[in-house]
Amino acid sequence: MRETKFNMNALVLVVIIFSAITFFATIQLMNMSDMQALNDSYPVEGTNVVVRHSTLIPYGIYEGEYEATSVLKVEGNFGDDWGVALVGNTLIINEYTHTNFNLWLCQLVRVDLNTYEKTVMYRDTMLRGKCASGELVCLTDYLEPSNQPATNGLCQLYALSSGEFRAGEVCATVLYLDPNTGEELYRVRDDEAVDVEVLETRYLARTLEEVRG
């Protein structure tokens, strides 16, 4: 190959160098994911902590309700929009992350409110509330439908090494967690549970025993 005029190795090398320059210019220098101005606070009931989303200060869990005196304890894009659980002095909450091309991911994390240590419980999992008998209901093995998995090649690449995802399809497993210990109680595969109405009527409105039965 060395004596040929057209050399693939040279082409690949040129692509690498060219991409490195343009990627650092477009993706690393400009953070494409943070375009909206916002300043929201969501106090967590029964605690002294606030989930804060702000353009001016880092996203995260802050101690103290008043913005001027509150102190950042855990940095991250947390969301109590679908529910949050307080187990003793431990907070179970959704954390949103994204890849550098903006594939949105959600993971369920546990935050110790004494030490403010964060532990990831389940990746690709979203807490969606409590069922009629009080257990925490989560969607797991789940990529947000907003990622457009049917047309998003990156979702397919993400799915390739997973035992659960299927490319081009919105799929999910419903996971029940003990509200006191955070332990897994039951899981059932149901791709339709991604639909809010289906999740509400089939899982959130019923007790765990009814779902099991």
Partner 1 sequence: MRVKFGVNLRKVKTGAEIYIIIFQLSALLPTLYMYLISGYPYLMTRSGVHLFLFDVGISALPRWEALLLSMLYRGTSSETATYFAMLGFALLVGLVAANVLKGKPRTAIISRIVFAVLIFSDLLFRLLPIHCNQAMSPAMNVIGFVIRLACLALVALDLIAHRRKPAEN
Q: Which residues bind partner 1 (CB under 8 A)?
A: 1-2, 4, 8-9, 11-13, 15-16, 19-20, 22-23, 26-28, 32, 97-103, 105, 147-148, 150-154, 156-168
Nearer to partner 1, 12 or 57 (CB): 12
Nearer to partner 1, 7 or 180 (CB): 7
Q: In whole angstroms, how close is the CB of 166 to partner 1 at the nearest point?
A: 7
Q: List, in sequence order, every residue forming a beta bridge with 138; answer none if it has no partner.
A: 127, 175
Residue found by looking up tokens 């693939």 in the block: 8
Backbone angles phi, psi at 109, to 5 degrees: -120, 160
Q: In whole angstroms, how close is the CB of 148 to partner 1 at the nearest point?
A: 5
- Residue ranges of E strands in the chain: 39-43, 49-54, 60-63, 71-75, 77-79, 85-87, 90-98, 104-112, 118-122, 125-130, 136-140, 173-177, 184-189
Q: In whole angstroms, how close is the CB of 144 to partner 1 at the nearest point?
A: 13
For residue 26, the 8-state DSSP code is I
Nearer to partner 1, 15 or 205 (CB): 15
Residue found by looking up tokens 């047309």 in the block: 151
Nearer to partner 1, 2 or 56 (CB): 2
Q: In whole angstroms, how close is the CB of 5 to partner 1 at the nearest point?
A: 9
Q: In whole angstroms, how close is the CB of 103 to partner 1 at the nearest point?
A: 8
Nearer to partner 1, 73 or 118 (CB): 118
CA angle 96, 100, 105 (to 5 degrees): 25
